[in-house]
Chains A and B, each alone.
Chain A
Amino acid sequence: MLDDVRKNVRRAALALVACFGLIAIALGYWQVWRAADLGQDPANPRIADERLLLPRGRILDRTGQVLAESQTTQAGLQRHYADPSLVHTIGFHSDRFGDTDLEAVYAAELSGERSLSPLDRLERQLFHHQPQPDDLVLTIDKRIHDAAIEALGKSSGAIVVVDPRSGAVLAMASRPFFDPNAADSQMPALQGDPSQPLFNRAIQALYVPGSTFKTVTATAALDRNLVDLNQPIMCTTAVKVGSYSVDCKNSQHIPRLTYQQAYAWSSNRVFGLTGLLLGFPNLAPINRWLDDKPPGPYPWTENDGSIQASADVLDEYARRFGFGRAVPFDVPVAVSHIKNPDTPWTPQLLVQTAFGQGELQVTPLQMALVAATVANGGRVPTPYVAADLRRDGSAQQLHEPGQFFSIASSSEVASTMVSFMVEGVDNGYAAKAAISGIKVGGKTGTAEVGDGTSHSWFIGFAPADAPRVAIAVIMEHQGSGSDFATPAAQQVMRLALSVYK
């Protein structure tokens, strides 16, 4: 009798223990198997907790100056930014609005989650070591950045300074900016501000490049060996392309000019027609066709379809410089493009594009890369702004300096382009970029934006014989490139050359 009960007790006991076994398996499932994904679930309140409790690493400029750090205040840990004008370079960290730009891209490293070896991870878990945040060192030079912000003055716009040899971005300033230290409370006002202070113009804004784009057109013509550099061109009259007429107004004080002078004095007719002639290698040298009196009817006047070949060449060179593709960078960069993908090429659009108008849309970073490419022997340097992560004196390099992501032209063509741009400063519209004792190369741009005003552009580099800095300056609605962006660039380059070797 009792034996039966005992047998039943034994069986029931086994069933009960099996239930505990199931519980143990469920514990393993939630505590090990699902630990990682639930730990990263944004709805997990612990994530916000950690952000409030753990200090983030600092962000430093290349000289070690602190640009951002976590400070203990009465309200807990708060991210403090030394200079609001750097907000578009660094981005910002906000518990309400999340992280942006570098603060977002390097969030894991800054909060100490840099990949640990399994052993280190175990040790950290067992002994509950706080994660050690990394400091992020940038290629930015605060002094050059300050000069750029000052040079922009009250104008909206952007200045990007790159070391053409390494691709290191020394400054990427954008105006207007906002104070990230107070962003949480001011966000609604900032979002409604018509001057768009939240907009990072250096890498996100798309502008018409104006004549600075002639650098791309000229590089294409030279690299295709279409131009005789010595044969002068007579440029006094306008030429009608379709219903559009391109003239020689910019260079009217020199009726007979070389191709280099046409670049330095920014002839729209010469570079507009160059764009159309790029697809006709058998017409080389094209100088005769750029002249007041061409040797015959223009090849595109009869059949619009024939311009496709020239458009393909211009498009290819623009692509080589980085247009139409995602420029590799630490933070996403808007894609510059040569025309809207849906618009068909017409002779008129191609000629406008070739001298820098049309439907061209470029970022200031892209134009700085165009200047840097010329200064770097035709190779398009891979830009980067995050230099290394540092912790306890050990550094982890984030980018190999001196990489390039494309080759735009041969080095011979690039050195010819250097001489073109030096001419632009020595005897051309970019004269105000001149720095005494240093050879400077540059190209101005006056981009018509359709409301009667113009954006003022400059791209250039210095010193021309061994460039250390390349620059792009855009000042919105200021007027001619020569009078606004060019002196601003001169100011920044002069300072940069004195502090950056």
Chain B
Amino acid sequence: MRRASTLPLVGTPHPRFARPLPEGEAILIFPVALLAVGLVLLALVRRQVVEWQTLTGAGLFAVALVAAALWVRWRLPLADLSVLAIAATLAAVGQIMTSRLEASLGPRQGTWVLIGLGAMTLVGWLPSIEWLRRYRYTWGTLAILLQVLTLVFGRDPNGSGAALWFVLGPVSVQPMEIVKLLLVMFLAGYLEEYRELLTMAGRRIGRVHLPPLPYLAPILVMVGAALLLFWLQKDLGPALLFSTVLLAMLYVASGRASYVVLGLGLLILGGALADRVFSHVHTRVISWLDPWSNRETIGYQLVQALYAFASGGVFGAGLDMGSPRYIPAVHTDFVIAAIGEELGLAGTLAVIGLFVLLVQRGFVIALNARSGFSALLASGLTFVLGLQAIIILAGTLELIPLTGITLPFVSYGGSWVIANFVLIGLLLRISHEHANA
């Protein structure tokens, strides 16, 4: 273990276990208790015998969280543990809902979370956050490469209509989840480099600042290529996510709202164009504009989700007492509708609340960062989590066209749970390196 790697870029080094046992770690009891209660409740509702086995998942989760907390105290003693606690709570909700919706997948989801917590500790091997900045173009190139590889070698094992997976023997991996992190690292590095130019330069037409195209060109090329590849893969969710994350980071770097307005305008224009050109986009738009007339066909999934939300009411039907089985893909993209039906508005607002807390902690880390790159990286990673949640939630609630994307930590699946915990690890690392000592 190289000691130097944990040294923050700015500020004084911190001796190992320098601070007393912080009360902060106690909040990790909450996700563990939530998962334990949820699993026991589920067994009781299903009139199964509650055995120690019922609590295996919660037990392993507890062990993994304690290990993660120990690791944080060892390697990142100044990190803000609350992001991990909130993410773990969302993951607990995800494990409960997966066990409820697809009982056989429950243990697998638990395993993904354990692997995710393990993968999170990988950030400990990073020399430093600064090191990430140095290799920004490498991350960008890797992202595009992975995209191209997906296009060439991607498989569609679940029949979702988009070939987004690498199948490696028994496991399938979605490279998009890694691309997500790589692109944010690239963007943070690049925008940091040209931040001042982006802020100052550019032509003005009246009161509107036009972006300085020469400086923007490399990111437009990079991100444009990524987006194009997503389009080619018919994977609209990530395309929308990256577009909005790019705009958000551009704003954070430049402070120019006009970039965002311009970008959103282009996005809508592009969407309208795609609506006319691509039938799979048109289908999404139609089923968004009027799902009720198409409830037997393309609007089926959305209408079933809305029925589920409505049937939940304020307090919900109760865990395992609703009928979310009518919603296709309920345990992945539409998990919030199942929460809405069985845990009610109380449950969905609690999940929204957790996401608000999570992004709030993420932004606090960005605000406390002492370098532009770290601030941009932390806010970019936070945007990835927040915007991903907003895109799928708004889609299931008929606010925007539905695009296939998962609800971070809650939806069933391995690739995204692991990638999102790595993301949490990065946030922990940034918060540690820039903590006020």
Contact = CB atoms under 8 A, between A and B. Distances in A.
Contact of B255 (A4, A23, A49): A4
Contacts of B314: 31-32, 125
B307 A38 contact: yes
A7 interface: yes
B326 A5 contact: no
A14 to B, nearest CB: 9
Nearest to A37: B310
Contact of A4 (B199, B307, B321, B371): B199
B344 interface: yes
Tier of interface size on chain A: 35 or more
A2 B295 CA distance: 51
Contacts of B312: 31, 35
B317 A128 contact: yes
B252 A128 contact: no
Contacts of B310: 30-31, 34-35, 37-39, 44
Interface residues of B, number: 57
A44 B310 CA distance: 10
Interface centre among B196, B356, B369, B387 (most CB of A within 10 A): B356
Interface in B293-330: 295, 303-304, 306-307, 309-315, 317-318, 321, 323, 326
Contact of B390 (A4, A19, A125): A19
B364 to A, nearest CB: 9
Interface string A1-29: 11011111111110011011011101110
A13 B385 CA distance: 12
Interface in B315-356: 315, 317-318, 321, 323, 326, 340, 344-345, 348-349, 352, 355-356
Given A46-B323, A49-B323, A12 B349 contact: no
Contacts of B355: 20
B321 A5 contact: no
B248 A24 contact: no
B375 A6 contact: yes
B345 A28 contact: yes
B56 interface: no
B393 interface: yes
Interface in B338-392: 340, 344-345, 348-349, 352, 355-356, 359-360, 363, 366-367, 369-372, 375-376, 379, 382-383, 386-387, 389-390
A30 B323 contact: no
B394 A26 contact: yes
B375 A27 contact: no
A179 B199 CA distance: 82
A45 interface: yes
Contact of A35 (B311, B318, B321, B375): B311
Contacts of A9: 252, 363, 366-367, 375, 379
A39 B311 contact: yes
A23 B313 contact: no
B397 A26 contact: yes
Nearest to A40: B310
Nearest to A38: B310
Interface string A86-105: 00000000000000000000
A22 B352 CA distance: 11
Contact of A27 (B254, B311, B345): B345
A12 B355 CA distance: 15
Contact of B372 (A2, A16, A28): A2
Interface centre among A10, A19, A22, A38 (most CB of B within 10 A): A19
A126 interface: yes
Given A16-B383, A30-B309, A45-B326, A5 B397 contact: no
A451 interface: no
A16 B304 CA distance: 28
Contacts of A342: none
Nearest to B304: A45
Contacts, number: 138
A27 B349 contact: yes
B164 to A, nearest CB: 26
A56 to B, nearest CB: 19
B269 interface: no
A41 interface: yes
Nearest to A127: B318
Contacts of B390: 16, 19-20, 23
A499 interface: no
A43 B252 contact: no
Contacts of B387: 16
Contacts of A10: 363, 367
A493 B317 CA distance: 53
A204 to B, nearest CB: 34
Contacts of A37: 310
Contacts of B295: 43
Interface centre among A20, A43, A45 (most CB of B within 10 A): A20
Given A2-B372, A125-B315, A26 B399 contact: yes
Given A12-B252, A22-B399, A30-B309, A126 B315 contact: yes
Contacts of B248: 12, 16
B428 interface: no
Contact of B344 (A17, A31, A44, A45): A31
A5 B372 contact: yes
B188 to A, nearest CB: 11
A46 to B, nearest CB: 5
Interface string A46-69: 100100000000000000000000
A44 B363 contact: no
A46 B370 contact: no
B394 A23 contact: yes
A27 B309 contact: yes
Given A5-B376, A23-B352, A128-B318, A30 B306 contact: yes
B253 A46 contact: no
Interface in A175-218: none
A38 B393 contact: no
Interface centre among A13, A20, A26, A126 (most CB of B within 10 A): A13
A38 B306 contact: yes
B231 interface: no
B251 interface: yes
A48 to B, nearest CB: 10
A45 to B, nearest CB: 5
Interface string B263-300: 00000000000000000000000000000000100000
Contacts of B253: 5, 8
Contacts of A39: 310-311
Contacts of A31: 309-310, 312-314, 340, 344-345, 348
A12 B375 CA distance: 13
A219 B386 CA distance: 83
Interface in B411-437: none
Interface centre among A19, A26, A31 (most CB of B within 10 A): A31
A35 B314 CA distance: 9
A17 B367 contact: no
Nearest to A124: B315
Contacts of B369: 2
Given A16-B386, A38-B307, A39-B310, A5 B344 contact: no
Interface of A: 1-2, 4-13, 16-17, 19-20, 22-24, 26-28, 30-32, 34-35, 37-39, 41, 43-46, 49, 125-126, 128
5 contacts: A5-B253, A19-B386, A20-B352, A20-B355, A44-B307
Nearest 5 interchain pairs by C-beta: A38-B310, A26-B397, A30-B309, A13-B363, A31-B345
Given A20-B386, A27-B345, A38-B307, 19 more contacts: A1-B195, A2-B372, A5-B252, A8-B255, A9-B375, A11-B251, A12-B252, A13-B382, A17-B356, A24-B352, A28-B345, A37-B310, A38-B306, A38-B311, A41-B307, A45-B304, A46-B311, A46-B323, A125-B314
Interface of B: 195-196, 199, 248, 251-255, 295, 303-304, 306-307, 309-315, 317-318, 321, 323, 326, 340, 344-345, 348-349, 352, 355-356, 359-360, 363, 366-367, 369-372, 375-376, 379, 382-383, 386-387, 389-390, 393-394, 397-399
